[in-house]
Structure 1
Amino acid sequence: MLFSRISKNLRGSFNSCRWFLSIGDHNHRFLSPHNFHSLGDSTHQVMRSINFSKSLPALRSSRYLIHQQSNSIVEDEHDPFSLVADELSLLGNKLRAMVAAEVPKLASAAEYFFKMGVEGKRFRPTVLLLMSTALNLPINEASAHIVLGGDLTTDLRSRQQRIAEITEMIHVASLLHDDVLDDADTRRGIGSLNFVMGNKLAVLAGDFLLSRACVALASLKNTEVVSLLAKVVEHLVTGETMQMTTTSDQQCSMEYYMQKTYYKTASLISNSCKAIAILAGQTTEVAILAFEYGKNLGLAFQLIDDVLDFTGTSASLGKGSLSDIQHGIVTAPILFAMEEFPQLRAIIDEGFENPANIELALDYLGKSRGIQRTRELAVEHANLAAAAIDSLPDSDDEEVRKSRKALIDLTHRVITRTK
């Protein structure tokens, strides 16, 4: 049984953690330790306890301690993006067709970040396509083909591809809205849509993408999947609202920050991964493992983003460095630095409209272990993501094994990226 296999394979090197943060409707928890400074070289002790809810026992270890050393990369010689390159190309063409609109100006705005050359690496669709193959496990034949409207049979893979398309549309819509709220002038190395076409059209383009995503989602005719991705949109709004309306205590709370980060960044990929499992007819346990992979990968991704906002350059990030603190947004590096230098609290409370306060905050950050501790926390979540993949039921299928290795490779890429 899966439960007993997980208990056997995952035992030993997770230690207890200072606190856990509960995540909404799923009753999942993820860990975010304050006390990295007491761990010494904590990159050698990153595997920790995680509670998957009542339906799944706690993960305690993993065969993949992939981030223990700088040269500890999973043994996959295949580039994850290359494994799904053909599907990504088809997905790009499909997305450009899906965002066509009768009004030329709206169509031009909606496809702005779907054009060739500015579409990015399609990180989220890559994860979901790899997850689709990784979960290609034995199930009832009836689950592999879904009968719609009597005699219309839709192939499982095409339905999972539709999840990837929906996820990318929701993601880009959130970028368009975020850029308006942040008054951003660049995105992915080019002018942001609001900067080029104005705030009103950018908002309408984001709304249009969400409406297209809803139509595509409804076509799947799966109420559980519809509910999952509808919850994602709610989380995106909730997270943005949390960021805009923080009290002084909330702004200085790591727990509040991690919850907001889940809503804004990790909810989309975690629930989309779970949707992939549900469409495949997989068990609740497998669906939870898919969810946990996406959640922890998303958290690791954002934590590294927070680091790069301080350490990256405008050229490599495609946006101005220090953009978060310049907008008054306090992220993990500053929160960790504040634990070492409590006097930072007064500067945070005063705000960062005054450039002198930014310089003071950066000075304290430079003297602290805030950047290092944020990287360590990202490593921890990356390892939890790898542990979730390692806990999936065994498979002798070479394509399944290759996709699982690629998913674990992505956890390494997330924490070692420079842009």
Structure 2
Amino acid sequence: MWGALLRRGGRGAGGLRRLVSGGPPWSQVVSEAEKIVGYPTSFMSLRCLLSDELSNIAMQVRKLVGTKHPLLDTARGFVYDSRNNLQMRGLVVLLISKAAGPSTEELSFQHNMVSGIYSSQRSLAEITELIHTAFLVHRGIVNIGELKSCDGPLKDMQFGNKMAVLSGDFLLANACTSLAQLQNTKVVELISSAIGDLVQGIYYENSKSPEESCLTDDISISTWKEQVFLSHSALLAKSCQAAMELAKHSAEIQDMAFQYGKHMSMSHKLHSDLQPFVKESSSDTMAFSLNSAPAVLHQEFLGREAWIKQIREAQGRGNIMDYKKLQEAIKAGKGVTSAIDLCRCHGNSALAALESFPPSEARAALANIVYAVTRFP
């Protein structure tokens, strides 16, 4: 079904391509987009990240060096932007704000714009990044009961958990304070509901009890999409909609911004899930989640019982998973190609939403982001 949708190809009314197999790489797309919005989004949360309070937290986090606490990896990600850890959400909010421009109601207030973006929309982009960062930090809390001796001293791991809770709460509190300062009830409602969605999505991800023997959930791809929307897409989709509300755009434009944010972030998540199965240069097998999109689709095609049998066969002594064997089994089925089709299907939906915006550099950058996250070797 998804493949048929993608094979139609062609261009939309606004000249956007429906399917692109090539296009510039992700890092180049982001670099060019940052020039359009006026400054690098890696500095989006800089005022907060360089505050005295967070500097003190950063000093405390140094005590975790030598352990395997995930908060260390999260902290490194703030300093070393890798291919998969760029601050994408704030950048998209700024781009879609510029692509939409001022509404007819706000034309007289264009003097409040910098590089075609209102200051309130820039604040919203910062808030979006702070919320996302806060939840990344909170995800770095480890289950003390599952720790091994090689992970680090127990007291250090407990200390790391306290730091993850406190620093995540600090970022979230700053985001909520800035959100209130926007003085827009609808925007507060939208972003508050996105925070609720994030909490619900993370709850679904961690709701399986440790006593359960299966390493994989018995879920359909439709359930997977619902859960991914909550934990990955809702924040960006609702932030894009909120950016349109701040400029007093119509309900139709607000909905198109929401649709772009939703479908682009779904494509981004699918692209991320597919990396262990499509990377050409990886000599070592990458570990992957058994609840990732290719695995869920593989299970749908194969059947639950046969899938569990494959998992059991890939488990060696001591229940150590042979990911290479399982990866080959998934690649031999239809899960990977179906996940690629689904990724591009969401990409096409994102491009369709962009047709409602006038042609511009910002709209082209938003389209390039879609091309980058639907691009495979």
**TM-score interval w.r.t. the shorter chain?**
0.7 to 0.9
SS of 1:180 mapped into structure 2: coil
* 2:294 maps to 1:333: yes
* 2:88 maps to 1:123: yes
Distance 1:182-1:296 versus aligned 2 partners, 3 A rule: farther
Please give the alpha-carbon distance, in whole angstroms, between the structure 1 residues aligned to 2:298 and 2:199. 28
Please give the alpha-carbon distance, in whole angstroms, between the structure 1 residues aligned to 2:295 and 2:87. 30
Please give the alpha-carbon distance, in whole angstroms, between the structure 2 residues aligned to 1:268 and 1:370. 27
Distance 1:310-1:87 versus aligned 2 partners, 3 A rule: closer
* 2:273 maps to 1:303: no
* 2:123 maps to 1:162: yes
Superposed CA deviations along residues 315-341 of structure 1, whole A, max 9, x for unmatched, are 99xxx932423xxxx121012212332
Please give the alpha-carbon distance, in whole angstroms, between the structure 2 residues aligned to 1:114 and 1:121. 9
Superposed CA deviations along residues 63-121 of structure 1, whole A, max 9, x for unmatched, are 55635352478xx9x92233235253653533434x54188236765994685544853
Q: Which residue of 2 aligns with 1:240?
A: 202
- CA contact under 8 A between 1:64 and 1:386: conserved in structure 2? no
Q: Which residue of 2 aligns with 1:222?
A: 184
Q: Which residue of 1 aligns with 2:49?
A: 96
Please give the alpha-carbon distance, in whole angstroms, between the structure 1 residues aligned to 2:103 and 2:38. 25
Q: Which has the higher contact order (CA 8 A, sep 6+)?
A: 2
Name the Cα RMSD after superposition.
Answer: 4.1
2:171 paired residue among 209, 216, 235: 209
Tell me how far 1:263 sits from its aligned partner: 0.4
TM-score, normalised with respect to structure 1:
0.68
Please give the alpha-carbon distance, in whole angstroms, between the structure 2 residues aligned to 1:103 and 1:69. 43
Superposed CA deviations along residues 349-402 of structure 1, whole A, max 9, x for unmatched, are 97978335756643420211211110110101011101101123x4xxxxx611
Q: Which amino acid aligns with 1:82?
A: K
Q: Which residue of 2 aligns with 1:408?
A: 367
Please give the alpha-carbon distance, in whole angstroms, between the structure 2 residues aligned to 1:348 and 1:223. 51
Q: Which residue of 2 aligns with 1:44?
A: 7
SS of 2:39 mapped into structure 1: helix
What does 1:38-117 align with in structure 2 at a 5 Å threshold?
Answer: 39=3, 43-45=6-8, 66=17, 68-71=19-22, 79-84=32-37, 86=39, 88=41, 91-97=44-50, 99-101=51-53, 104-105=56-57, 112=75, 116-117=79-80
Please give the alpha-carbon distance, in whole angstroms, between the structure 2 residues aligned to 1:90 and 1:45. 40
Please give the alpha-carbon distance, in whole angstroms, between the structure 2 residues aligned to 1:71 and 1:303. 17
Q: Which amino acid aligns with 1:170?
A: I
Identical amino acids, percent of aligned pairs:
24
Please give the alpha-carbon distance, in whole angstroms, between the structure 1 residues aligned to 2:102 and 2:263. 23
More helix by share: 2
Please give the alpha-carbon distance, in whole angstroms, between the structure 2 residues aligned to 1:274 and 1:113. 31
Superposed CA deviations along residues 142-175 of structure 1, whole A, max 9, x for unmatched, are 88489xxxxxx99871111111111111111111
Please give the alpha-carbon distance, in whole angstroms, between the structure 2 residues aligned to 1:94 and 1:387. 36
Structure 1 unpaired stretches of 5+: 1-34, 48-60, 147-152, 186-193, 395-399
Q: Which residue of 2 aligns with 1:378?
A: 343
SS of 1:371 mapped into structure 2: helix
Distance 1:92-1:213 versus aligned 2 partners, 3 A rule: closer
- CA contact under 8 A between 1:46 and 1:379: conserved in structure 2? no
Tell me how far 1:237 sits from its aligned partner: 1.0
Please give the alpha-carbon distance, in whole angstroms, between the structure 1 residues aligned to 2:183 and 2:244. 15
Superposed CA deviations along residues 211-260 of structure 1, whole A, max 9, x for unmatched, are 11101111111111111111111111101111222598963221211100
Q: Which amino acid aligns with 1:105?
A: I
